[in-house]
Amino acid sequence: MNRSYKIGVIKGDGIGPEIVDEAIKVLDAVSVAQGFNLKYEELLLGGAAIDQTGVPLPEETIQGVKQCDAILFGAIGGPQWDNLERTLRPESGLLALRKEMGTFANLRPAMVYDELVNASSLKPSVIQGVDIMVVRELTGGLYFGQPRALEDDKAFNTMIYTREEVKRIAIVAFDIAMKRNKRLCSVDKSNVLEVSQFWREIVEEIAVDYPEVALSHMYVDNAAMQLIRDPKQFDVILTSNIFGDILSDAASMLSGSIGLLPSASTGKGVGLFEPIHGSAPDIAGQGIANPLATISSASMMLRYALNENEAADKIDEAIKKTLAEGYRTGDIGDYDATEIVTCSQMGDIVADYASR
- Taking the least distance from each CB to ligand NAD, the nearer of 31 and 257 is 257
Q: Does 186 bind ligand NAD (CB under 6 A)?
A: no
Burial of 54 (0-12, 13-18, 19+ CB in 10 A): exposed
Q: Residue 20 interacts with ligand NAD (CB under 6 A)?
A: no
| Binding letters toward ligand NAD, positions 294-333, x by CB under 6 A | -------------------------------------x--
By CB under 6 A, is residue 280 in contact with ligand NAD? yes
| Phi, psi for 169 (deg, rounded to 5) | -75, -35
CB 141 → ligand NAD: shortest distance, Å?
17
Helix (H) or strand (E) holding 187: strand 183-188
Distance in angstroms (rounded) separating the CA atoms of residues 82 and 78: 7
282 interacts with ligand NAD by CB under 6 A: yes
By CB under 6 A, tell whether 283 contacts ligand NAD.
Answer: yes
End-to-end CA distance of the chain: 18
Whether residue 313 lies in the annotated active site? no
- The Cα-based distances of 219 to 15, 167, 192, 207 in angstroms read 36, 19, 10, 18
Query: Does the annotation mark 161 as catalytic?
Result: no
DSSP string, 98-139: HHHHT--EEEEEEE--GGGTTTSSS-HHHHTT-EEEEEEE-S
- Within 80-109, the residues that bind ligand NAD by CB under 6 A are 91, 94
Residue 334 CB, nearest approach to ligand NAD (Å): 13
# binding residues, ligand NAD (CB under 6 A)? 22
292 close to 273: Cβ distance less than 8 angstroms: no
DSSP 65: H
Is 216 strand, coil or helix?
Answer: strand
Question: Cis omega before residue 124 (within 30°)?
Answer: no
289 binds ligand NAD (CB under 6 A): yes
Catalytic residue among 11, 25, 189, 314: 189
CA atoms within a 13 Å half-sphere pointing along the CA-CB vector of 269? 14
35 or 79: CB nearest ligand NAD: 79
Using CB under 6 A as the binding rule, whether residue 77 contacts ligand NAD is answered as: yes
217, β-bridge pairs: 186
Closer residue to ligand NAD, CB minimum distance, 279 or 299: 279
- 221 noted as active-site residue: yes
Q: Is 249 a catalytic residue?
A: yes
H or E stretch at 11: strand 3-12
Q: Any catalytic annotation for residue 13?
A: no
Q: How near is the Cβ of 252 to ligand NAD at its closest, in Å?
A: 10
Q: Does 78 bind ligand NAD (CB under 6 A)?
A: yes
In the bound complex, what is the minimum distance in angstroms from residue 343's beta carbon to ligand NAD?
8
347 sits near ligand NAD (criterion: CB under 6 A): no
Q: From CA 68, how far away is CA 140, in angstroms rounded? A: 24
Rounded to a whole number of angstroms, the minimum distance from the CB of residue 52 to ligand NAD is 17
In the shown chain, the binding pattern of residues 26 to 65 toward ligand NAD, with x for contact by CB under 6 A and - for none, equals: ----------------------------------------
Task: Say how far residue 333 (Cα) sits from the centre of its chain.
Answer: 23
Active-site residues, by number, are: 143, 189, 221, 245, 249
Interacting residue ranges for ligand NAD, rule: CB under 6 A: 15, 19, 75-78, 91, 94, 258-259, 274, 277-283, 289-290, 293, 331
